[in-house]
Amino acid sequence: MAELAPGLIYLPTYFDRAQQQQLVETLRDIVKEAPLFTPQMPKTGKPFSVRMTNCGSLGWVSDRLGGYRYQAHHPLTGLAWPAIPERILTAWRDLAGYPNLPEACLVNYYAPNARMGLHQDRDELALDAPVLSVSLGDSALFRYGGTQRKDRTKSIRLHSGDVVLIGGASRLIFHGIERVLPGTSTLLADGGRINLTLRRVTLPN
Ligand code: MD3
Ligand code: FE
């Protein structure tokens, strides 16, 4: 375990290989029910290179007209999102130090050329809750800075099975995925990378 910055906690190989394989099997069922979609940037409609889906009572979506938001239904099928896998909820209970369960589990799929530009996660009301991230498949270069876009950045490699917990003073830092490192994992037969992020969206009553 390492604290990369105040509130930014890195847990390398939190999930072992067998647990990673079980998670991927569960995700195959989730994607059958809630297919990956391509989000679009607000206003411009520019497509993301990352494809996404969600599980949980709320899912993160974005399109040209509606912008970034959480909603209870898949944007293409109109169905409720599948449930969050129990093994992932257990990780939240064990690590998050938050009294309530997460409502959203965003599933990001990175093909070998996908990236995610530097951004802040601020679409949640519960900014007191951490975000818990799980990496699966190919390794990636994760870049993170401070709470201002101009702040100096650092980068680390995230590997399959790693968990990052982002809370406290780091909850609003700028971060992104610079690139995926193809051929660095055998977990996904067709390569690429999956990232799961667990989030509390609403303020608990
Ligand atoms: C730092 N995902 O979905 S995970 C995202 O690997 C996102 O797919 C990246 O950024 C990915 O929004 C990075 C690590 C992470 C997740 C959430 C954060 C870092 C964070 C929220 C605040 C600060
Ligand atoms: Fe993010």
> pTM, whole model, 2 decimals?
0.98
Cross-strand bridge partners of residue 10: 2, 164
pLDDT tens per residue, range 31-46: 999 999 999 999 999 9
The string of pLDDT tens digits covering residues 39-86 is 999 999 999 999 999 999 999 999 999 999 999 999 999 999 999 999
Q: Which two tokens stand for residue 39?
A: 């989000």
| pLDDT of the residue at 46 | 98
| First-residue to last-residue Cα distance in the chain | 32
Tell me, in angstroms, the distance from the centre of ligand 2 to residue 63's CA. Answer: 17
pLDDT at 205: 85
**Average pLDDT of the segment spanning 112-131:** 98
Q: Compute the distance between CA of residue 97 and CA of residue 166 in angstroms, rounded to an integer.
A: 12
**pLDDT score for 20:** 98
- Check: CB of residue 84 under 8 Å from CB of residue 198: yes
In angstroms, the CA 140 to CA 188 distance is 14
- CA dist 130 and 24 (Å) reads 23
Ion ligand 2 residue ranges (Cβ < 5 Å): 121
Structure confidence at residue 25 (pLDDT): 98
Contact 155, 186 (CB under 8 A): no
Residue 26 has which token pair?
A: 């569960």
Measure 197 CA to ligand 1 centroid, in angstroms. Answer: 7
Residue 120: burial class (beta carbons within 10 Å; 0-12, 13-18, 19+): middle
Q: Is 177 in the pocket of ligand 1 (CB under 6 A)?
A: yes
Ligand 1 pocket test, candidate residues 53, 119, 121, most atoms within 8 A of CB: 121
